[in-house]
Amino acid sequence: MKNKILIIISIFAIFLSSSLFYGCGYNKLVTLEEGVNSGWSQVENQYQRRADLIPNLVKTVEGAADFEKSVLTEVTEMRSRVGQVKLNAEDLNDPEKFAAYQKAQDGLSSALSRLLVVTENYPQLKSNESFLQLQSQLEGTENRISVERMKFNEAVQRYNTEKRSFPTVIFAGIMGFKEKQYFKGKEGTDQPPDVKFDLKKKNN
């Protein structure tokens, strides 16, 4: 008899716990967090694709007889710096780590942008089939990075909104759900760019 009572109590406790977790949005938070993690994986994939393209791009550009070496050095150094800044799914809750990761990636984006601008001054590169293919792949990857970052931010917004909603907000902290970080626009992107180039080419 006692065993039956214990079984009934256990079943009731399980049912009550399940109802409580469901009512406080636990399952939905788990689903939304997985969506954030999945979105982050896609962002990382595109950043890695870009990093993989850079060595061949640099090698091709180095073939230009009088190319601006400082630009190549900057791209190489920024790629190395990006490789040193790692970010996993757990770090998406950490504002400082996330900001450091974004700063490194944005720095590489700026360096690559300058590289592509400078190459416009070198006719031999503009007619180099290998360079043109790499340039096209790089530009396509940059576009995909922008798209995946946007999708990631949308997933973060859905997660953070649910986490802060009532009654989920009461239990989210207790259950260890933390706010996720957004990708933010680079500082100054709301202002028109002041583009100045002082490109001095050596005489052959």
Q: Is position 8 within any domain?
A: no
Q: Compare 160 and 8 and report the one with higher pLDDT.
A: 160
User: pLDDT for 31-52, tens place per residue?
Assistant: 999 999 999 999 999 999 999 9
Fill in the amino acid letter for 32: L
**Could you tell me the pTM of the whole model?**
0.78
Judge whether 195 lies within some domain: no
Whether residue 17 has pLDDT greater than 80: no
- Among 30-39, 47-56, 100-109, 195-204, where is mean pLDDT lowest? 195-204
Taking the C-alpha atoms of residue 170 and residue 136, their distance in angstroms, rounded to an integer, is: 49
pLDDT of residue 84: 94
How does the average pLDDT of the chain come out, rounded?
82
Q: What percent of the chain has pLDDT over 70?
A: 78
Which CATH number does the domain housing residue 114 bear?
1.20.1440.20
In a domain, 95, yes or no: yes
**Position 99 in a domain:** yes
Produce one character per residue of 22-49: b if its CB has 16 or more CB atoms within 10 Å, e if not: eebbbebbeebbebbbebbebbbebbee
State the residue range of the domain holding 32: 21-172
Residue 162 lies in a domain: yes
* Structural domain count, the chain: 1
| Domain-located, residue 77 | yes
Domain for residue 85, yes or no?
A: yes
Q: How confident is the model at residue 136 (pLDDT cuts 50, 70, 90)?
A: very high
Using CA atoms, how far apart are residues 153 and 169, in angstroms rounded to an integer?
20
Distance (Å, rounded) from C-alpha 50 to C-alpha 145?
9
The Cα–Cα gap between 77 and 202 comes to 24
Does 92 reside within a domain? Answer: yes
Q: How many whole angstroms separate alpha carbon 105 and alpha carbon 91? A: 16
Q: Which two tokens stand for residue 182?
A: 């957004």
